[in-house]
Chains A and B, each alone.
Chain A
Amino acid sequence: MKLSKELLFDVARLSRVNISNEETDQFLDELNDVVKAFDLLSEVDTKGVSPSLHPVKITPKLREDKPEVKKKTALFGEMEDGYFVGPSLK
């Protein structure tokens, strides 16, 4: 697998990361070196093997759905009328 410039820009857009024109060529070469190393995984026969999301068995723990942190502490940022302020979505 080789990343093209177009795919790199698409991934960067999805990642919300800006890459300058000067960075593009260097990034492309470096990332393709890494992806080439990732491609080694295709050699391994994993038919019938389950994925390990964790290295040890984890028993899910759930707590009661009750707020334990004050809103002002949880929303560390700009507040207005008790709400969290952010940029426009329009």
Chain B
Amino acid sequence: MNGIVTSSNMKPIAKGVLSGVTVSFKDCICVKGLPAQSSSKILKGYIPSFNATCVEKILSQGGTIIGKTAQDEFGFGSFGINNSYDLKNPVDPTRVPGGSSSGSAIAAKTIKNHLAIAESTGGSIVNPAAFCQVFGACPTYGRVSRYGLIDYANSLDKIGVMANTLELTAKGLTVISGNCSKDSTSVDLPAEDFSKFETFKGILGVPKEYVENLSPEVKQAFQLAIEKLKSKGIQIKNISLALNAKYSIPSYYVIALSETSTNLAKYSGLRYGPQSDFKLHYNDYFTKVRQNFGVEAKRRVILGTFTRMAGYRSAYYIKALKVRTLLIEEYKKAFKQVSAIIHPTMPILPPKIKDTKNLSPIEIYNMDLLTAGVNLAGLPHLTVPIGEMVGMLITTNHFEERKMFSVGGLL
């Protein structure tokens, strides 16, 4: 399996920097004429009548679209097991590929000269990219238009890229970036070529809390990568991200699920997917159609409704948004001491598929420990392979994507 769930052969409309490159899109990104289901039964039969902005940009720069890739339902998952595709890690088929952009990582690893366009809410690009041993880049929030993305959580969703080389990853992110009048949260900044980065000169920070509980394989690969950086004359400084280490997971999940519960309200069996009997009362109709949600989607809608309910809203949703402010400030303070922050992308190797069956939701949510903070803060981040199924996460300040790639160029 190469991660593709719907194949196509959509030719580019012009020559450009991606001429000769095949491109795939995560299933949640709308490509005109191709089914877009986000791996959910509730979107069965939905075929978009328009292209997402990033699709138009790829076609105008020479990319050939070869299909849509598998994912966890609506992006709800860290392992690639919350769908019906039986996905396996291409490096070790007994292990999970990671999630939620699982198919993107598999395609980037197994298809030659391929650019996979993926999406991240809390780590869904860098998690599977690290596990499948490819490069994965997630931009600053607002850098890439979300127009045409089937949303999970509006204030957290970012479209990014994966590829087998740093150069193609940087080129791909450059092509899809830019201001877009169709996305009200798109940021108006001049175009930059992220692939034209200079040699990195600066200090790299390692948050002590993010290297405390690593598996032996991850710890060893990270130490070797640090030695390599030191041998190139790079100064490494220990820093602290104590608040993020403790509170990024609860803050991230409260905000993500609150936003999810409103976003998924549009799946009412009227505009999209399977319908029911119109003679039913609206509430019964709505409830019946929504039985097409998977168990995790139901769980997240219930939790997100709870955190926004009268009586609980201040204690959970508003509180999480305030904590988010403090978590962003903690990163900003760190960037006054160091140019970029590095740590492993995931604390463990991808789990064996058989070992993921009995994990509880909270155990799965805790897997996002090293990626939730950067996503909550909307910071650009890049994972670079540093060992078998191990990645190093490089994070820079907002809109410093080029610096992020320059650190990647050292490894």
Contacts and interface: CB of A to CB of B under 8 A. Distances in A.
B360 A30 contact: yes
Question: Which of A34, A76, A88, A89 counts the most chain B CB atoms within 10 A?
Answer: A34
B328 A16 contact: no
B246 interface: yes
Question: Which of B140, B275, B318, B376 counts the most chain A CB atoms within 10 A?
Answer: B275
A16 B360 contact: no
Nearest to A90: B281
Contact of B285 (A38, A56, A76, A87): A87
Nearest to A19: B298
User: Which applies to chain A's interface (DSSP): helix, strand, loop or mixed?
Assistant: loop
Contacts of A23: 295
Contacts of B188: 59
Contacts of A30: 299, 360-362
B316 A33 contact: no
A5 to B, nearest CB: 13
Contact of A87 (B278, B309, B324): B278
Contacts of A46: 319, 322-323, 325-326
Interface string B257-272: 0000100000010111
Contacts of A1: 312, 315
A52 B324 contact: yes
B355 to A, nearest CB: 18
Interface string B233-263: 0000000000100110111011000000100
A87 B276 CA distance: 9
Contact of B155 (A41, A55, A87, A88): A55
Contacts of A51: 318, 321-322, 324-325
User: Which applies to chain B's interface (DSSP): helix, strand, loop or mixed?
Assistant: helix
B51 to A, nearest CB: 13
B49 interface: yes
A75 B271 contact: yes
B302 A17 contact: yes
Contacts of B291: 18
Given A51-B318, A51-B325, A55-B378, A77 B271 contact: yes
B319 A42 contact: yes
Given A34-B253, A88-B281, A49 B322 contact: yes
Contacts of B282: 86-89
A78 B141 CA distance: 36
A63 B302 CA distance: 34
A16 B283 CA distance: 7
A21 to B, nearest CB: 15
Interface stretch (B94-102, B179-187, B337-345, B385-393): B179-187
Contacts of B295: 23
A33 to B, nearest CB: 4
Interface in A40-90: 40-42, 44, 46, 49-56, 58-63, 73, 75-78, 84-90
B325 A50 contact: yes
Contact of A17 (B272, B279, B301): B301
Given A17-B302, A52-B324, 12 more contacts: A7-B306, A12-B302, A17-B301, A18-B288, A31-B302, A33-B362, A38-B250, A49-B326, A51-B318, A54-B141, A73-B49, A86-B285
24 contacts: A7-B306, A11-B306, A11-B309, A15-B261, A16-B286, A16-B287, A17-B302, A18-B291, A23-B295, A37-B250, A37-B362, A38-B320, A41-B320, A41-B323, A44-B243, A44-B326, A54-B378, A55-B156, A56-B187, A61-B186, A76-B49, A87-B276, A87-B277, A88-B279
Interface of B: 46, 49, 140-142, 155-156, 181, 184-188, 243, 246-247, 249-251, 253-254, 261, 268, 270-272, 275-288, 290-291, 293, 295, 298-299, 301-303, 305-307, 309, 312, 315-316, 318-326, 328, 360-362, 365, 376-379, 398
